[in-house]
Amino acid sequence: MTKTKVDKELIRELAALMDETGLSEIEIERDDDRVRLVRAVVPAPLAAVASVPAAEPVTVPVENDLSRHPGALLSPIVGTAYHAPSPEDAPFVKIGDHVTVGQTLLVIEAMKTFNEISATCAGVVRQILFENATPVEYGDVLIIVD
């Protein structure tokens, strides 16, 4: 049996790379040498889990849940939301504007495509709940129309 010399510096570099990137496993191969590092996940002891007091459930009043508002415009996609078609243009709508069903209220850029987001109901824009050029998630409340 031949004894292989371990390159400790390489292992240190790989471990640092795992810490830096959050990887749980890394493997490299050079010539006939192969190094594989796997970070062990150590479960928390049950006693420590049991000693943590249970959090009280938080109930959000329905009146504060804007997604239930009948005039809430929810984001249909994940992307970056914009108030106007371009930086030089005026915003599609402002608070107090009257809008009609199908009128474009904003655009969301997703995968290099600008998607026009239209009003789902007619009324007056009461709130604009996103900052220009900020990320939005599916289901985020973007605008409230009454």
Q: What is the pLDDT of residue 22?
A: 73
Phi/psi of residue 30, nearest 5 degrees: -130, 125
pLDDT values of the chain reduced to their tens digit, one per residue, 146 residues: 556 677 778 778 877 877 777 777 777 777 777 777 777 655 555 555 455 555 555 544 545 688 888 899 999 999 999 999 999 999 999 999 999 999 999 999 998 899 999 999 999 999 999 999 999 999 999 999 99
Q: What CATH number is given for 66-145 in this structure? A: 2.40.50.100
For the chain, what are the domain ranges? 8-38, 66-145
Q: What is the pLDDT of residue 126?
A: 94
Q: What is the pLDDT of residue 6?
A: 72
Q: What is the pLDDT of residue 4?
A: 64
pTM assigned to the model? 0.56
Q: What is the pLDDT of residue 14?
A: 78
